[in-house]
């Protein structure tokens, strides 16, 4: 139970130090007779040493000291008592009146020196009251100065840069040095974790390790600390009472001040102080402790804010350094203000090397003139796209391609305050893109390769067979010619034996000359046809692939169609008959022949597949019809198939990249998307289609005839 | 070897008229041996095969309507005795895979007439020794030979393991005669364009590569698992047949090594040794009742195996096996060794060859297992003619090593 402050503050404890029992008794009577407002308790000791011991054990408000003690030969001996008794009044008593000596006693530390013989109740009372009053004034002043000192130290600590837990520990030690009566040099600071209503011990001094373990986490409401946190009120106890729930074995008796650390009604933590058992609670202690708690609240709040700031900062830097883009901040004076890790890695320059320097003077092997022009354009015109590409050379000499994005910094008034460059190394990406395009091209050529091999192997087979036949036939005919020659020779000599004629007839029969005469011209013709076919295919392949031509040239579209059809013959011939209806004297079209041929091939292959899908393995042949005409300023190519048509739900996606209706592995879904890009983006043309389910599809390519030629 | 005097009738199928007339003209020199028919579509080829007896079909692969693979499938079903050859200008894997089952051999365009002729001659070899056309049909109708289930299962799991090295597959295949012969058929077909004969299954597997082996084994199923329960004759055990074959193969290889034969012939010896009794498997598998009857004839009447086989099947197991191997395009010396392994004196030109070694190895291995000694006696006279009789002691000791 808390003690009643008023009840105890009226008791005055007086220590009588006198080795003369009579005089001590006299003094005691005098004290008791004294008409004091307060109740007076006293104790008598005979020696200075006893007095020193007594005041170290028990609190006294006043000492009445006999100057004739055996162990106190001179007035200076009072010093030890004065030092130990701090500001409490000491009244020296003399058995004989000696004003000179009295002055010496007062000079050495006594508050008053009285001549016992002259002393009466009234004068004693006056003296005592005066001494006590003065004592209180002094001790208040002293206490205030000590408390101020503690609070100042705390505040100055709070400004120091040190980890939170170390800071709290330092604070705790300062608090424990405060002049609080009965305070033991033992204590802890627990900080609340408001999320789950828990106190975490962050600092402690001279605590039993077992207790530290036990009180590492304290729930709100649990034990004295938890109660202080929950109620927000100081908990005081002068002994280990039932509220003291957390206990360890062999815990020595003690009391507590548990002070909640509050900020705007929030409990930030508690300060736990240990008191000697039986300590009486005092108002001024409470005031002091509240001051300490307020200071601690400031410290904890600041630390928390700092933590949050540090965390935010840490998160920001982590975010920035994990960015795979280069970030370069440039201030209004064109100096580098920010340079992230990626920038350091790619440009091989550390932030220290470049920060604060003008960006134009950075030792980077890039075309700064071009870059700064682009930046200028972007900053001055918000409508322009904010990204552009630029090359730069790494220190190892390898060329990289950068994609640079410019974001202006504007202050609140819209005034430009520098800009931010977000730079990406897009070398690999661009390379990949071009490889994909190449692979796409190779794929369409690869599709053809097997077919072209077949187209060439077939004529070579029959050319070979026919030539072998001609070789054998020539052997046979040569023999007949020889025989005929002999016969002619003999005819010249008019000496023909009929057997010889029969033999020749037999020979002619044997080699079947009639057959040979009939077959040889055909065989030669087919051989020539075969050679022609190989030549046609090879020429078509050459025309189709158009090596080297990357720029728009005037192109004969009819011829382009013919060679594409030839190259793709093996793709369509098993599914369709293909007819061409090409407008004679079609104007030449400015285009890049390679890509246009790829578009034609793509659409023809799709047409063949559409027909194959429809006829299945029935052996029927569908139709592919290709027409060209010039209309106004357009060259119009129509490629029609009698295939299955494009289903309605697919029609809107025909030109989407990666869209395919073919089974997995059959098509990449890139063909028509790429074709669209080639015709529309590269040639300012149009690519469209008309389709009817079950009837077929017509793709229409329109290319401008009067285009630019670069 | 003997070839028939009868004219063989060969049907050529190609949608390209010029190919047909080219073939007709260049093959004109063979018009006395062969009766040649030319048609330009699969449908027409099928109706020709219905009308008249055909011995061989040589077809293009890609044709409108029915393609070569479909045609050969139908021919194999309806006319199993027909020799089936693809002659194609197509070189993509997908198409070739389709013919692995139905075609006996695969030739690439352009193909010289001589190659075409040699292929046909080898496929026709021993055909007339088979006598009954039933045998021809059942042999040319076979797409695969059964393998030992343990090896088959091991192969299937091995081939699905992404960490498997192709050489491991080859070594496993080499443990099974049926897989060995099928793999060699494939790798020696013209599609793989090797232009040389491969007799070693490990080489064959690495030439084919995992990409081809995987679909061949898993989806096309070129290998088959032997099912003893389905075999109605109890006289036949695949395990003991293969165990014997492997022994003969390895002895033949060692003898060839000892005699300092060249590498390809050593491999031929091993292969021929492994495959020499493959005819027994074909007979037991397809004609189990006759096979049982034949086995009892051997025991009851003390008749020689050769004469018992001729009595019952009209041909020896050597001829039957050799016909299949010839049809599948295995090397000539292997075909000969298998055909005549019990009758080496019938060799047309008597030379020291894989036949000599396989005959001897087989006889020596049989001598060890005493009860079957009678069935494959060593032809000392034949060895004497070749002047090899004095080598016999050395070979005998190799045998002892293998048997121990």
**Ranges A444-453, B104-113, B136-145: which has the least confidence:** A444-453
Per-residue confidence (pLDDT) for residue A1, from 0 to 100: 32
A555 in the same domain as A525: no
A97 in the same domain as A15: yes
Does residue B247 or residue A126 have the better pLDDT? B247
Q: Tell me the β-bridge partners of A420.
A: A329, A407
Per-residue confidence (pLDDT) for residue B11, from 0 to 100: 96
In A, residues 256-275, which contact B (CB 8 Å cutoff)?
Answer: none
How close B108 comes to chain A (CA, Å)?
9
Quote the percentage of chain A above a pLDDT of 70.
90
Give chain B positions within 8 Å (CB) of A450. 90-92
Per-residue confidence (pLDDT) for residue A518, from 0 to 100: 92
CA distance B281 to B291: 10
Give chain B positions within 8 Å (CB) of A666. none
Yes or no, beta carbons of B19 and A526 under 8 Å apart: no
Per-residue confidence (pLDDT) for residue A570, from 0 to 100: 84
Residue of B nearest to A463 (CA): B22
Map residue B255 onto helix, strand or coil: helix
pLDDT above 80: residue A74 = no
Q: Does the CB of A526 have a partner CB in chain B at under 8 Å? A: yes
Q: Does the CB of B233 have a partner CB in chain A at under 8 Å? A: no
Write the ipTM. 0.72
Is B112 exposed, middle or buried, given 0-12, 13-18 or 19+ CB atoms closer than 10 A? Answer: middle
- Kindly state whether residue A317 falls inside one of the protein's structural domains: no
Is A492 exposed, middle or buried, given 0-12, 13-18 or 19+ CB atoms closer than 10 A? Answer: exposed
Contacts of A521 (CB under 8 A, 6+ apart): none
Q: Which residue has the tokens 């002293």?
A: A142
**Ranges A350-354, B91-95, B208-212: which has the least confidence:** B91-95
Number of Cβ within a 10 Å radius of residue A67? 25
Yes or no, beta carbons of A469 and B23 under 8 Å apart: no
Per-residue confidence (pLDDT) for residue A464, from 0 to 100: 93
Is A368 exposed, middle or buried, given 0-12, 13-18 or 19+ CB atoms closer than 10 A? Answer: middle
- Kindly state whether residue A151 falls inside one of the protein's structural domains: no
Side-by-side strand order, sheet with B34-39: B34-39, B8-13, B56-59, B83-88, B105-108
Give chain B positions within 8 Å (CB) of A618. 65
Map residue A707 onto helix, strand or coil: coil
pLDDT above 90: residue A331 = no
**Ranges A10-14, A191-195, B22-26, B391-395: which has the least confidence:** A10-14
Yes or no, beta carbons of B89 and A523 under 8 Å apart: no
Q: Tell me the β-bridge partners of A193.
A: A198
A648 in the same domain as A629: yes
Q: Are A675 and A598 in contact (CB under 8 A)?
A: yes
Q: Does the CB of A465 have a partner CB in chain B at under 8 Å? A: yes
Mean pLDDT of the A666-682 span: 77
Per-residue confidence (pLDDT) for residue A339, from 0 to 100: 87
- Kindly state whether residue A375 falls inside one of the protein's structural domains: yes
Yes or no, beta carbons of B89 and A461 under 8 Å apart: yes
**Ranges A461-470, B2-11, B345-354: which has the least confidence:** B2-11
Mean pLDDT of the A85-104 span: 79
CA distance A391 to B351: 76
A641 in the same domain as A610: yes
Q: For A466-505, what is each residue's pLDDT tens digit?
A: 999 999 999 999 999 998 888 888 888 877 778 888 888 8
Q: Tokens standing for A98?
A: 């000696």
Mean pLDDT of the A125-153 span: 75
Per-residue confidence (pLDDT) for residue A444, from 0 to 100: 62
pLDDT above 80: residue A692 = yes
Give chain B positions within 8 Å (CB) of A474. none
- Kindly state whether residue A342 falls inside one of the protein's structural domains: yes
A443 in the same domain as A401: no
Give chain B positions within 8 Å (CB) of A466. 21-22, 25-26
Mean pLDDT of the A414-421 span: 78
Per-residue confidence (pLDDT) for residue A460, from 0 to 100: 92
A700 in the same domain as A553: yes
Q: Does the CB of B89 have a partner CB in chain A at under 8 Å? A: yes
Per-residue confidence (pLDDT) for residue A659, from 0 to 100: 63
- Kindly state whether residue A154 falls inside one of the protein's structural domains: no
CA distance A266 to A476: 120
Q: Are B150 and B244 in contact (CB under 8 A)?
A: no
Mean pLDDT of the A332-340 span: 86
Q: For B349-363, what is each residue's pLDDT tens digit?
A: 888 999 999 999 999
Look up the CATH number of the domain holding residue A405.
Answer: 3.30.450.20
**Residue B106's pLDDT band (cuts 50, 70, 90):** confident
Question: B60, B94, B99: which is closest to B76 by C-alpha?
Answer: B99
Per-residue confidence (pLDDT) for residue A521, from 0 to 100: 94
Kindly report the backbone phi and psi dihedral angles of residue A502, in degrees, each rounded to the nearest multiple of 5, phi listed first: -60, -40
**Among A202-206, A364-368, A539-543, B331-335, the range of highest mean pLDDT:** A202-206
As for how many domains chain A has, the answer is 5
CA distance B16 to B39: 10
Please give, one letter per residue, the 3-state secondary structure of A621-676.
CEEEEEEEEEECCEEEEEEEECCCCCCHHHHCCCCCCCCCCCCCCCCCCCHHHHHH
Angle at A397 between CA A394 and CA A399, to 5 degrees: 65
Q: Does the CB of B31 have a partner CB in chain A at under 8 Å? A: no
Give chain B positions within 8 Å (CB) of A456. 89
pLDDT above 80: residue B303 = no
pLDDT above 60: residue B191 = no
Mean pLDDT of the A495-516 span: 85
In B, residues 177-216, which contact A (CB 8 Å cutoff)?
Answer: none
Mean pLDDT of the A344-357 span: 86
Q: For B29-79, what is each residue's pLDDT tens digit?
A: 888 889 999 999 999 999 999 999 999 999 998 888 788 888 998 998 888
Give chain A positions within 8 Å (CB) of B109. 454, 457-458, 460-461
A653 in the same domain as A555: yes
Which contacts of A392-401 are long-range, i.e. CB under 8 A and separated by 24 or more positions? A392/A364, A392/A365, A392/A366, A392/A367, A393/A365, A393/A366, A394/A346, A394/A348, A394/A365, A395/A348, A395/A365, A399/A427, A400/A346, A400/A425, A400/A427, A401/A425, A401/A426, A401/A427, A401/A430
Per-residue confidence (pLDDT) for residue B23, from 0 to 100: 92
Per-residue confidence (pLDDT) for residue A522, from 0 to 100: 94
Q: Does the CB of B114 have a partner CB in chain A at under 8 Å? A: no
Question: A549, A556, A545, A554: which is closest to A637 by C-alpha?
Answer: A556
Mean pLDDT of the A263-284 span: 87
Map residue B166 onto helix, strand or coil: helix
Indicate the DSSP class of residue B213: H
How far is the first Cα of chain B from the last one, in angstroms, to the nearest whole number?
Answer: 37
Mean pLDDT of the A145-165 span: 79
Give chain A positions within 8 Å (CB) of B16. 458, 462
pLDDT above 50: residue A7 = no
Give chain B positions within 8 Å (CB) of A457. 89, 108-110
Q: List the single residue in B22, B64, B70 with the smallest CB-CB distance to A526.
A: B22
Residues of the domain holding A16 = 5-146
User: Can you state the percent helix, strand and coil of chain A, rounding each to 5?
Assistant: 50, 20, 30
Q: List the single residue in A455, A468, A529 with the smallest CB-CB distance to B18.
A: A529
Per-residue confidence (pLDDT) for residue A669, from 0 to 100: 56
Does residue A189 or residue A447 have the better pLDDT? A189
Q: For B156-188, what is each residue's pLDDT tens digit?
A: 888 888 888 888 888 888 888 888 888 888 777
Burial A457-483 (b: 16+ CB within 10 A, else e): bbbbbbbbbbbbbbebbeebbeebeeb
Q: Is A686 left (phi over 0), alpha (psi -120 to 50) or beta?
A: beta
Q: Are strands B56-59 and B83-88 parallel, antiparallel or unpaired?
A: parallel
Average pLDDT value over all residues in chain A = 82
Q: Which residue has the tokens 């079947």?
A: A512
Q: Are B166 and B206 in contact (CB under 8 A)?
A: yes
For the domain spanning B8-124, the CATH number is 3.40.50.2300
- Kindly state whether residue A266 falls inside one of the protein's structural domains: yes
How close A489 comes to chain B (CA, Å)?
31
Yes or no, beta carbons of A462 and B29 under 8 Å apart: no
Per-residue confidence (pLDDT) for residue B22, from 0 to 100: 92
Mutate to test the interface with B, among A461, A467, A471, A537 (most CBs of B within 10 A): A461
**Residue B92's pLDDT band (cuts 50, 70, 90):** low
Does residue B298 or residue A584 have the better pLDDT? A584
Yes or no, beta carbons of B43 and A574 under 8 Å apart: no
Residue of B nearest to A520 (CA): B25
Which contacts of A647-655 are long-range, i.e. CB under 8 A and separated by 24 or more positions? A647/A693, A648/A693, A651/A691, A654/A689, A655/A687
CA distance A21 to B246: 131
CA distance B41 to B24: 16
The packing angle between helices B332-339 and B317-327, to 10°, is 160
Q: List the single residue in B18, B28, B89 with the smallest CB-CB distance to A457.
A: B89
Residue of A nearest to B70 (CA): A617
Quote the percentage of chain B above a pLDDT of 70.
92
Q: Which residue has the tokens 């410019």?
A: A406
User: Of A369, A394, A425, which marks where a domain is finished?
Assistant: A425
E strands, A132-224, are 183-193, 198-205, 217-219
Mean pLDDT of the A648-654 span: 82
Residue of A nearest to B14 (CA): A458
Residue B33 CB-half CA count within 13 A: 10
Mean pLDDT of the A437-441 span: 62
Per-residue confidence (pLDDT) for residue B285, from 0 to 100: 85
CB pairs below 8 Å between A and B: how many?
Answer: 88
Q: List the single residue in A461, A469, A621 with the smallest CB-CB distance to B19.
A: A461
Yes or no, beta carbons of B91 and A526 under 8 Å apart: no
Per-residue confidence (pLDDT) for residue A258, from 0 to 100: 93
Q: List the single residue in B18, B66, B109 with the smallest CB-CB distance to A457.
A: B109
Q: Does the CB of B288 have a partner CB in chain A at under 8 Å? A: no
In A, residues 611-650, which contact B (CB 8 Å cutoff)?
Answer: 617-621
CA distance B341 to B321: 11
Quote the percentage of chain B above a pLDDT of 90.
20
Look up the CATH number of the domain holding residue A118.
Answer: 3.40.50.2300
User: Of A505, A531, A557, which marks where a domain is finished?
Assistant: A531
Give chain B positions within 8 Å (CB) of A463. 22
Q: List the single residue in B66, B90, B112 with the smallest CB-CB distance to A454.
A: B90
- Kindly state whether residue A48 falls inside one of the protein's structural domains: yes
A436 in the same domain as A418: no
Superfamily of domain B228-403: Hypothetical protein af1432 (1.10.3210.10)
**Residue A439's pLDDT band (cuts 50, 70, 90):** low
Quote the percentage of chain A above a pLDDT of 90.
17
Yes or no, beta carbons of B111 and A461 under 8 Å apart: yes
Does residue A39 or residue A239 have the better pLDDT? A239
Angle at A641 between CA A614 and CA A588, to 5 degrees: 160
Per-residue confidence (pLDDT) for residue B192, from 0 to 100: 58
pLDDT above 70: residue A573 = yes
In A, residues 423-452, which contact B (CB 8 Å cutoff)?
Answer: 450
User: Of A425, A445, A470, which marks where a domain is finished?
Assistant: A425
Residue of A nearest to B93 (CA): A450
A568 in the same domain as A480: no
In A, residues 643-702, which contact B (CB 8 Å cutoff)?
Answer: none
Per-residue confidence (pLDDT) for residue B71, from 0 to 100: 93
Q: List the single residue in A462, A574, A618 with the smallest CB-CB distance to B62.
A: A574
Where do the structural domains in chain B lie, given as residue ranges?
Answer: 8-124, 149-225, 228-403
């Amino acid at each position: 139970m808390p003690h009643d402050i008023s009840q105890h503050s009226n008791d005055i404890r007086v220590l009588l130090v006198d080795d003369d029992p009579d005089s001590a008794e006299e003094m005691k009577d005098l004290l008791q007779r004294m008409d004091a407002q307060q109740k007076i308790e006293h104790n008598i000791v005979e020696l200075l040493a006893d007095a020193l011991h007594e005041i170290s054990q028990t609190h006294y408000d006043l000492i009445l000291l006999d100057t004739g003690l055996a162990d106190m030969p001179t007035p200076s001996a009072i010093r030890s008592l004065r030092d130990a008794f701090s500001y409490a009044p000491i009244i020296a008593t003399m058995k004989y009146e000696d004003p000179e000596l009295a002055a010496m006693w007062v000079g050495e530390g006594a508050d008053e020196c009285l001549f016992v013989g002259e002393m009466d109740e009234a004068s004693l009372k006056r003296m005592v009251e005066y001494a006590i009053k003065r004592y209180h004034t002094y001790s208040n002043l002293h206490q205030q100065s000590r408390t101020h000192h503690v609070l100042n130290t705390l505040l100055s600590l709070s400004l120091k840069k040190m980890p939170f837990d170390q800071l709290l520990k330092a604070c705790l030690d300062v608090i424990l040095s405060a002049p609080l009566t009965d305070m033991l040099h033992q204590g802890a600071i627990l900080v609340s974790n408001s999320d789950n209503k828990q106190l975490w011990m962050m600092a402690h001094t001279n605590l039993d390790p077992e207790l530290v373990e036990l009180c590492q986490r304290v729930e709100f409401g649990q034990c004295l600390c938890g109660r202080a946190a929950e109620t927000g009120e100081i908990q005081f106890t002068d002994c280990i009472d039932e509220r003291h729930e957390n206990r360890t074995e062999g815990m020595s008796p003690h009391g507590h001040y548990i002070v909640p650390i509050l900020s705007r009604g929030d409990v930030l933590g508690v300060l736990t102080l240990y008191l000697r058992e039986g300590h009486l609670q005092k108002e001024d202690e409470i005031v002091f402790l509240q001051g300490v708690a307020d200071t601690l609240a400031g410290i904890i709040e600041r630390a928390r804010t700092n933590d949050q700031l540090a965390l935010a900062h840490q998160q920001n830097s982590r975010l920035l350094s994990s960015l795979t883009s280069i970030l370069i901040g440039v201030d209004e004076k064109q100096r580098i203000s920010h340079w992230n890790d990626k920038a350091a890695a790619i440009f091989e320059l550390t932030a220290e090397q470049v920060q604060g320097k003008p960006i134009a003077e950075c030792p980077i092997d890039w075309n700064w003139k071009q870059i700064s022009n682009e930046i200028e354009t972007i900053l001055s015109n918000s409508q322009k796209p904010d990204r552009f590409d630029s090359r730069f050379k790494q220190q190892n000499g390898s060329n990289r391609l950068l994609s640079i994005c410019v974001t202006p910094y504007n202050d609140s008034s819209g005034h430009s305050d520098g800009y931010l460059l977000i730079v990406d190394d897009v070398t690999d990406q661009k390379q990949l893109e071009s490889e994909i395009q190449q692979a796409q091209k190779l794929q369409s050529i690869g599709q053809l390769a097997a077919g072209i091999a077949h187209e060439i192997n077939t004529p070579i087979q029959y050319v070979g067979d026919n030539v072998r036949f001609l070789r054998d036939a020539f052997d046979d005919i040569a023999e007949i010619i020889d025989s005929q020659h002999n016969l002619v020779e003999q005819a010249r000599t008019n000496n023909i034996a009929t057997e010889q004629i029969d033999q020749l007839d037999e020979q002619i029969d044997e080699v079947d000359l009639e057959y040979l005469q009939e077959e040889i011209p055909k065989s030669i013709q087919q051989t020539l046809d075969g050679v022609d076919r190989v030549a046609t295919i090879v020429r078509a392949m050459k025309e189709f692939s158009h090596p080297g031509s990357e720029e728009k040239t005037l192109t004969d579209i009819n011829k382009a169609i013919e060679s594409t059809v030839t190259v793709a013959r093996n793709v369509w011939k098993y599914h369709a008959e293909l007819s061409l209806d090409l407008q004679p004297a079609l104007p030449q079209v400015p285009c890049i022949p390679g890509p246009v041929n790829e578009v034609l091939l793509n659409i023809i292959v799709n047409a063949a597949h559409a027909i194959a899908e429809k006829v299945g393995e029935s052996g029927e042949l569908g139709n592919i019809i290709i027409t060209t005409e010039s209309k106004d300023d357009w060259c119009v190519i129509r490629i029609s198939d009698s295939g299955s048509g494009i289903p309605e739900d697919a029609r809107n996606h025909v030109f989407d990249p990666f869209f395919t209706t073919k089974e997995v592995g059959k098509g990449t879904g890139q063909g028509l998307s790429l074709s669209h890009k080639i015709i529309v983006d590269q040639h300012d043309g149009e690519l469209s289609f008309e389709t009817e389910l079950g009837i077929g599809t017509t793709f229409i390519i329109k290319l401008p005839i009067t285009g630019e030629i670069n | 070897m003997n070839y028939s005097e009868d004219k063989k009738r060969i049907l050529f199928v190609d949608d390209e008229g010029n190919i047909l007339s080219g073939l007709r003209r260049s093959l004109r020199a063979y018009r006395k041996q062969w009766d040649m028919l030319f048609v330009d579509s699969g449908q027409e080829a099928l109706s020709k095969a219905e009308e008249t007896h055909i011995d061989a079909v040589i077809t293009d692969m890609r044709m409108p309507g029915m393609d070569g693979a479909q045609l050969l499938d139908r021919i194999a079903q309806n006319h199993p005795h027909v020799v089936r050859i693809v002659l194609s200008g197509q070189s993509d894997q997908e198409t070739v895979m389709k013919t692995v089952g139905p075609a006996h051999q695969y030739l690439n365009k352009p193909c010289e007439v001589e190659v075409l002729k040699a292929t046909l001659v080898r496929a026709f070899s021993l055909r007339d020794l088979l006598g009954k056309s039933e045998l021809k049909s059942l042999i040319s109708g076979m797409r695969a030979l059964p393998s030992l289930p343990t090896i088959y299962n091991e192969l299937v799991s091995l081939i699905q393991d992404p960490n498997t090295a192709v050489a491991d597959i080859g070594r496993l295949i080499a443990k099974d005669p049926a897989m060995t012969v099928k793999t060699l058929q494939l790798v020696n077909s013209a599609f793989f364009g090797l232009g040389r004969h491969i007799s070693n299954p490990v080489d064959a597997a690495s030439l084919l590569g995992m990409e081809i082996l995987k679909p061949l084994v898993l989806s096309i199923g070129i290998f088959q698992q032997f099912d003893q329960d389905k075999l109605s004759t109890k006289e036949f055990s695949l395990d003991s047949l293969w165990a014997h074959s492997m022994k003969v193969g390895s002895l033949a290889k060692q003898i060839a090594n000892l005699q300092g034969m060249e590498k390809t012939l050593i491999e031929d010896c091993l292969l021929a040794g492994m495959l020499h009794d493959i005819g027994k498997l074909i007979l037991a598998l397809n004609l189990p009742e006759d096979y049982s009857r034949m086995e009892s004839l051997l025991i009851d009447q003390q008749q020689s195996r050769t004469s018992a086989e001729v009595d019952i099947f009209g041909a020896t197991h050597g001829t039957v096996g050799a016909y299949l191997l010839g049809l599948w395009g295995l090397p000539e010396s292997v075909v000969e060794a298998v055909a005549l392994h019990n009758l080496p004196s019938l060799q047309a030109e008597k030379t020291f060859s894989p036949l000599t070694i396989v005959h001897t190895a087989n006889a020596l291995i049989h001598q060890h297992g005493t009860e079957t000694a009678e069935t494959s006696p060593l032809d000392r006279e034949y060895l004497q003619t070749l002047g090899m009789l004095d080598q016999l002691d050395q070979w005998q000791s190799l045998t002892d090593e293998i048997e121990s």
